[in-house]
Structure 1
């Protein structure tokens, strides 16, 4: 059973300056997203941004992670040169994680597809898994050396089964599934299962969760309760889980204060059996 006491935030440096005290007070999970929001940072003075982040988190006893760059980076590229580019960016992401004390690195699912959830990948899954292994081989070796877990996040996936097949194919404690509740909610409107189903299906492979809300029409990254995600079922599934995943509320900067208030509400009293999300704040 998870008590959700580690619910934390995804932040870039400006949001971290705003929320560092709150994150430290609760020993909450933190995910630093500077290098995914501004990929060019990896070609610049990323060490200074990492230093400032680490300084702001001094005394923090919770878990820290990093979101790797993802724009235009395909894990399952057929082109070996593209795979080398992806490897180099992820390896830099691990260097960043090392600099900030990070122990998880978020990377994106390679399964960008359209089609019915039950037949997608029927003819391609084996090859896509093989290509992903080729891409991640040096990355996983480095991650294992650092004690950093690679968590692979659902993006356009309409069914958890291909992504679970990919994660389990590594047979490594350093590769786990990341479930973005908002992404799952979007794809439920397009034929996939409900977001809570993803959490149950992940079972022992769940290592990381992004919590964000939307209206099932766009990836809005609203604070929980501001969209149409059914949060009582999400929280029940998280409480019932058999792992201890990183719990990251991932919202746009304008939603940060609402997100923090929601987390505080979950911590102080939530009727998870109600169809209405009733958060009691003081």
Structure 2
């Protein structure tokens, strides 16, 4: 059983300034998301990394980084596009190395239209092969760093393709990331509820983003602020055997509410 006591936050530097003491006091999971943004990647990202590491000095919990994702196509067919994608994701690993992180979040390559039962019928093998071309060098470097790449559901309508992709690497350094809010939104397109995703992906699960929304927009509200069925989600998380990183990922204005929600869980 997972007691959820390591549950923490996704933050950029301003939110880390606000929450660092709380994160350190509970040795909580933390995910640094500054390097997602192009202006940080192209600026003095090392200074941001140094400040984040200073704020987390003495933190005994697990630290991770969200890789760049804007316009990042990990299943790119064009080799020149693939080279740009690899360079940006490698910068994510540079940042991770600078802060002593152990997980890097990468987005799912599966952006598609169609009924969930026929999507990928003829293309899944090729999509997985292209994703391997992009990610295999990064997986190798991640292994050297003692890091795990976690691949997050984005527009995925159902778990099958993403589970097949993660399993195809046959590596302990590639694991599944489930964003509860994303799964909730895709429920309107026929996807199963978020708790089903957690149950189906249990053996491969390495990371969870917890956020709430109204099933229409990716609002990143603190849990309880939308319509996610949290009782089911928490039940599956407590049953998890893989000790996934548990990251509440909310917009800046929701950080205090997120911390309060996590605190309330511990009183139950």
Normalising to structure 2: TM-score of the pair?
0.99
- Once residues 257 and 40 of structure 1 are traced to their aligned partners in structure 2, the CA distance between those partners, rounded to angstroms, is 26
Please provide the CA RMSD for this pair: 0.6
Match of 1:203 in 2: 202
Partner residue in 2 for 1:170: 169
Q: CA deviation at 1:118?
A: 1.4
Which residue pairs with 2:260 in the alignment? 261
Q: Name 1:23's counterpart in structure 2.
A: 23
1:119-173: per-residue Cα shift (whole Å, max 9, x none)? 1101100000000000012111110100110000000000100000000000000
Shift of 1:189: 1.5
2:217 partner SS: coil
Residue of structure 1 in register with 2:84 after alignment: 85
Query: Does structure 1 residue 237 correspond to structure 2 residue 256?
Result: no
Deviant stretches of 4+, over 6 Å: none
Shift of residue 39, structure 1, vs aligned partner? 2.0
Aligned-partner Cα distance in 2 for 1:108–1:100 = 21
Which residue pairs with 1:247 in the alignment? 246
Question: Displacement of 1:228 after TM fit?
Answer: 0.1
Report the counterpart of residue 43 of structure 1 in structure 2: 42
Aligned-pair distance for 1:41? Answer: 1.3
Deviation at 1:177, TM superposition (A): 0.3
How far the C-alpha of 1:188 sits from its partner, in A, is 0.7
Shift of 1:72: 0.4
Size of the aligned set, in residue pairs, is 268
What is the aligned partner in structure 1 of residue 211 from structure 2? 212
Deviates most, 172-181 or 115-124: 115-124
Deviations 1:226-280 (A, max 9, x none): 00000000000000112100000000000010000000001111xxxxxxxxxxx
* C-alpha distance in 2 between matches for 1:222 and 1:116: 28
TM-score calculated relative to the size of structure 1: 0.94
